[in-house]
Structure 1
Amino acid sequence: MRRLARWLLIGCALFGFNAFAQDPVQGVFVNANTSQEVIDKAIDAGIEKMNFIKRPIARSRLKKTNPLYERIEVGNDGSQISVRFDAGKPVVMPANGSTVKWTRDDGEVFDVSALATGSKLQQTFKAEDGQRVNEFDVAADGTLTLRVTLTSPQLPAPVRYVLTYKRG
């Protein structure tokens, strides 16, 4: 049995494959034909019960801050997790779930954190006016499912949507 284990380790080293250290939530993922309509419908459902004066303001702000990303790049070196959406600035967070400050390209500052467990990664953005939670889950075939939940005291209901990506 020891001899078999040793040969497996040698084989993995020779072929550049380390199954024991491979993080399934790492890599580049591209949009798998999801449309902006999925996000727009979720936003409309979340603001449906707002009064007619606030509703268009909320819709505009939510649409601006929730575009359909075509590409997601996730990295995890064991001490830091980074997530980059399209060509935006990467969000770099400690891998232990601690919160750090991060400034979005438009200047808004967030408290961000991330925690990876197995084939899942949870990333949380907190601001004064609300919170966004991204739940990344990678299936055995490499498909990435991104579940987004937006909450705010300003919203009558959470905004939730699901996007699908394939390994790129």
Structure 2
Amino acid sequence: MTVDFDATVLACLERMGLELPEPSAPAGSYLPAARSGNLLFLSAQMPIQDGKVVYPGRVGLDLTPEEGYAAAKIAGLNTLARIRAELGDFNALKQIVRIDGHVASADDFFDQPGVIDGVSDLFNAVLDDRAGHARTAFGPRILPKNISIELAVIAEIQD
């Protein structure tokens, strides 16, 4: 018996009071995702809801670490929506391989990993053993469009 992983993910999100948004259009002249072999490379995923940036600004200056964490979780939800849009469902997702998390940070803010835990914790909660990933957290001073969080994600997909 094959488990419908797509239904499992959607049910888990529903239990958490979350639903997948409509994936947003790219902010520039690039693809939202590109496939190479068994890898799916996702372009910038941001904390956007209903077409608007949420939690703009710099963590440690304009935002608390908790707000940064919430922004990372929203960017993670947008990432899941993009993966599902690209694959048709979550059944072909083998594993999240890597997350590069960029946190617009005040000069004296140094807990970027704690902020990016927002996306890692979301993935761990809904993707189970397919959530495992390598990760980096960067602390640039500013990000495009005054967003607080930007994610670049690589996923492995089934043959």
Give yes or no for TM over 0.5: no
- Compare the two structures and name the one with the higher strand fraction: 1
Higher RCO (C-alpha under 8 Å, 6+ residues apart):
2
Query: TM-score when scaled to structure 1?
Result: 0.25
- Compare the two structures and name the one with the higher helix fraction: 2
Query: TM-score when scaled to structure 2?
Result: 0.26
- Larger Cα-atom Rg: 1
